[in-house]
C-alpha cells in the first residue's frame, strides 16, 4: 500500500479446531495468507493438512474458531458458496469427469461464471451465445497457458496421471479464483512433470496474480516455490515462516525434516 500499511490478509484462519469422534484432527490452528503469496502447508501424514484445506474450502466446518476470506466471515459456508467468493481447489486424488473431454472438463470450471436467462440459453441465441463464446475463449486461453492444446479433445480418463493433474489445475483456474488451494499437486509425478507443474504454479501466481496455498511433501519443491511455509504436526501448527527459517526450526526438524547434516 502506498502509505506503508501492510495489506489485510486475503485469508484468515483463526484458531480453528476439528474433531472426528475422539480424534482431534486440528487443534486451534491459525493461518494467514496475504494477497499474492504462495504458501506451502507441510507436515507428516495425518498432520491435518488436507483437513485444513477442507475447512477453508467449506467441505468441513470447524467446531470452534473462525475463517475469514477477503474480510468476510465464511466459517460455515457450503463449498458452492465458498467457490462463489473466489476460492477454487484441486484434490489429492484427481477428481475429473473421466468420460468427458479435457475441454469439457475445464468448461465445468466456468459454471459459476455463467449467468443468463434459461430460455435464451435453451435457444442458444443473443446474450447466451455471446456468453458461451466468451467462456470458451477464456478456457482456450488457459489451455494455451498450460500447454495442453494437443489433448483438448481427449477424454480425461485416457490421459496419464501427470496430465490429469494439469487438467484439474486448468479446471480450477477456469473459475478465476482469488485463492487457489492445491492438495498435493505433484503427487505421483516424475521429475520432469514436477518441474513443469512448479513452473505452471509460479506462472499462475505471477501472471494471473492468483494467491496460492498448497500441500506438498517434496521439500525441494516447497523450498523453491513458496514465499512462506506453515508446518502442522498432529493437528497443531508448530512453525510458520519463510522457507529458510522453517528448514532450520528445531521443532520442524524433529517432527518432519529429519536431522540435517553439515
Residue 242's pLDDT band (boundaries 50, 70, 90)?
very high
Q: Does residue 218 contact residue 194 with C-beta atoms inside 8 Å?
A: yes
Q: What is the CATH number of the domain that holds 224?
A: 3.40.50.300
Could you tell me if residue 238 is inside a domain? yes
Could you tell me if residue 212 is inside a domain? no
Domain that holds residue 226: 1-83+217-262
Could you tell me if residue 249 is inside a domain? yes
Q: How many residues does the chain have?
A: 262
The rounded distance, in Å, linking the Cα atoms of 125 and 53 is 40
Per-residue pLDDT of 84-102, as tens digits, reads 999 999 987 777 889 999 9
Could you tell me if residue 52 is inside a domain? yes
The rounded distance, in Å, linking the Cα atoms of 86 and 209 is 13
Could you tell me if residue 254 is inside a domain? yes
pLDDT exceeds 80 at position 116: no
Could you tell me if residue 256 is inside a domain? yes
Could you tell me if residue 94 is inside a domain? no
Q: How many domains, the chain?
A: 1
> How confident is the model at residue 117, as a pLDDT?
42
Could you tell me if residue 12 is inside a domain? yes
Per-residue pLDDT of 172-210, as tens digits, reads 999 999 999 999 998 888 899 999 999 999 999 999 999
- Quick one: average pLDDT of 41-61? 94
Amino acid at each position: 500500500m502506498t502509505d506503508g500499511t501492510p495489506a489485510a490478509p486475503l485469508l484468515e484462519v483463526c484458531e480453528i479446531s476439528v474433531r472426528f469422534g475422539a480424534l482431534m484432527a486440528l487443534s486451534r490452528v491459525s493461518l494467514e495468507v496475504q494477497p499474492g503469496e504462495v504458501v506451502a502447508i507441510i507436515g507428516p501424514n495425518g498432520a491435518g493438512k488436507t483437513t485444513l484445506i477442507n475447512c477453508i474450502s467449506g467441505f468441513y466446518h470447524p467446531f470452534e474458531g473462525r475463517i475469514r476470506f477477503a474480510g468476510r466471515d465464511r466459517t460455515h459456508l457450503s463449498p458452492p458458496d465458498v467457490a462463489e467468493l473466489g476460492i477454487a481447489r484441486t484434490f489429492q486424488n484427481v477428481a475429473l469427469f473421466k468420460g468427458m473431454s479435457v475441454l469439457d472438463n475445464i468448461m465445468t470450471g466456468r459454471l459459476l461464471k455463467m449467468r443468463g436467462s434459461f430460455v435464451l440459453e435453451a435457444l442458444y441465441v443473443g446474450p447466451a451465445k455471446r456468453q458461451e463464446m466468451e467462456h470458451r475463449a477464456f478456457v482456450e486461453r488457459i489451455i494455451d497457458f498450460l500447454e495442453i492444446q494437443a489433448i483438448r479433445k481427449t477424454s480425461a480418463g485416457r490421459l496419464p496421471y501427470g496430465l490429469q493433474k494439469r487438467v484439474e489445475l486448468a479446471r480450477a483456474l477456469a473459475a478465476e479464483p482469488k485463492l487457489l488451494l492445491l492438495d498435493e499437486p505433484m503427487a505421483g509425478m516424475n521429475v520432469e512433470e514436477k518441474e513443469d507443474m512448479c513452473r505452471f504454479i509460479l506462472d499462475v501466481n505471477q501472471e494471473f496474480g492468483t494467491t496460492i496455498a498448497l500441500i506438498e511433501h517434496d521439500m525441494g519443491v516447497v523450498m523453491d516455490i513458496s514465499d512462506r511455509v506453515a508446518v502442522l504436526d498432529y493437528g497443531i501448527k508448530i512453525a510458520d515462516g519463510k522457507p529458510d527459517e522453517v528448514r532450520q526450526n528445531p521443532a520442524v526438524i524433529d517432527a518432519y525434516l529429519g536431522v540435517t547434516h553439515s
